[in-house]
Structure 1
């Protein structure tokens, strides 16, 4: 299970905090960009489609899906990332829901 929270960062972005007992990931993005993640199921990695939404540690964040899993790729691009994390696609649905409540 991945806990999801949205914290205010500044007037134009929020921080998405994804957290488990063993790791935490913070992604900064505008709310409108986070709402675009409702299309995550069309961002099929096998077809080389991803959604560029947010930044983490100064690098772009790319989102892809494969069946019931989402993958977050952090790095220069979606082909040569530095960090990759897989999580349940329902976690991305929760991000979209929380972003929608704030728009």
Structure 2
């Protein structure tokens, strides 16, 4: 289970907090870009498609699916990342839903 919160305190830029008991990941991105996560199922890593949305720890964030599961890749690009986290598709759907309800 991944808890999802969206804080839009910075206006058009939001902070997405993904959190479990063991880890936390904070991603900053324009709200309009987060809505694009509705297309996560089309961002097939095997076809080398990803969605470049947001930053984390000063690095770019890329979103893709691998074997039907969403993967967040943090790093210079979507092929040589420094951090990769697999999360449930429901968590990505929740981010897109929360972002779509703002603005």
TM range (shorter): over 0.9
Tell me by how many angstroms 1:67 deviates.
Answer: 4.4
Alignment of 1:5-84 (within 5 A): 5-84=5-84
Structure 1, unaligned runs of 5 or more: none
Contact 1:75–1:81 (Cα < 8 Å) also in 2: yes
1:45 and 1:6 map into 2 onto residues whose CA distance is 25
TM-score normalised by L of structure 1:
0.96
Give the secondary-structure state (helix, strand or coil) at the position aligned to 1:85: strand
TM-score normalised by L of structure 2:
0.96
Contact 1:41–1:66 (Cα < 8 Å) also in 2: no
Over 3 Å counting, the alpha-carbon distance change for 1:50 and 1:20 in structure 2 is same
1:69 and 1:85 map into 2 onto residues whose CA distance is 10
CA-based RMSD of the aligned residues comes to: 1.0
1:12 and 1:59 map into 2 onto residues whose CA distance is 19
